[in-house]
A and B are shown apart, each in its own frame.
Chain A
Amino acid sequence: GENVEQHPSTLSVQEGDSAVIKCTYSDSASNYFPWYKQELGKGPQLIIDIRSNVGEKKDQRIAVTLNKTAKHFSLHITETQPEDSAVYFCAAMGSSGDKLTFGTGTRLAVRP
């Protein structure tokens, strides 16, 4: 089955700096890669996703890049703000076509 690794597990940045979170996946047939933000005591919220026919996608301060050859994808947050502090999960949808496999999460802290 699919295996997703996520790094780093914790990340602390100064407000205004950029944050980058990286994930690798094992199933070369995976074709859909969402990123979720989870705040304390809440469910994950989809912040951006990318499909395998696209190399990069951007939405305001958030961007995701995908390298299919290397089987890794990354989340980039620019001009970080304290409200960006949360746990971020990457995920990959494998050849099963329905189930998501999640990374282990990155706890992002943005220092004011």
Chain B
Amino acid sequence: GAVVSQHPSWVICKSGTSVKIECRSLDFQATTMFWYRQFPKQSLMLMATSNEGSKATYEQGVEKDKFLINHASLTLSTLTVTSAHPEDSSFYICSATGVDNQPQHFGDGTRLSIL
């Protein structure tokens, strides 16, 4: 089956630093990748949608300058949380789809803790 790898799985860093999270599709070409944020015991909240080679589309209320998304190839998308603060602490999950947008396959998430 389709595999999506996300790295790192867990990161702790000081307030003010920037953190990059990678999302890779290992056995298929991901024309579209999605980034979600999930708070404890809550559902997944879509942050942005990215297509290979084009700018990401951000959901309402998500700061594009805060959460930088790059989708430079058909197998890799990155999310950079810039100048991270404690309120950015969360579980970030990526997903990827092929040409028909179905189904979405998810990575195992990155737990981000900002001290």
A residues contacting the other copy or chain, number (CB 8 A): 20
| B114 interface residue (CB < 8 Å to A) | no
CA of A104 to CA of B42 in the docked complex: distance in angstroms? 7
| B72 interface residue (CB < 8 Å to A) | no
Query: Whole-angstrom distance from the CB of B43 to the nearest CB of chain A?
Result: 5
Q: Of the candidates A36, A41, A93, A102, which one forms a contact with B101 in the assembled complex, judged by CB atoms under 8 Å apart?
A: A93
CA of A98 to CA of B102 in the docked complex: distance in angstroms? 8
Contact B102 A43 (CB under 8 A): no
> Which of A12-20, A44-52, A59-67, A72-80 lies at the binding interface?
A44-52
The interface of chain A, by Cβ under 8 A from chain B, is 32, 34, 36, 41-46, 49, 89, 93, 97-100, 102-105
The interface of chain B, by Cβ under 8 A from chain A, is 4, 6, 32, 34, 42-44, 46, 49, 93, 95, 97, 101-109, 111
- What are some 28 contacts across the A-B interface (CB < 8 A)? A34-B102, A36-B106, A41-B109, A42-B108, A42-B109, A43-B4, A43-B6, A43-B95, A43-B106, A43-B108, A43-B109, A44-B44, A44-B93, A44-B106, A49-B102, A49-B103, A89-B43, A89-B44, A93-B101, A98-B101, A99-B34, A100-B104, A102-B43, A103-B43, A104-B42, A104-B43, A105-B42, A105-B43
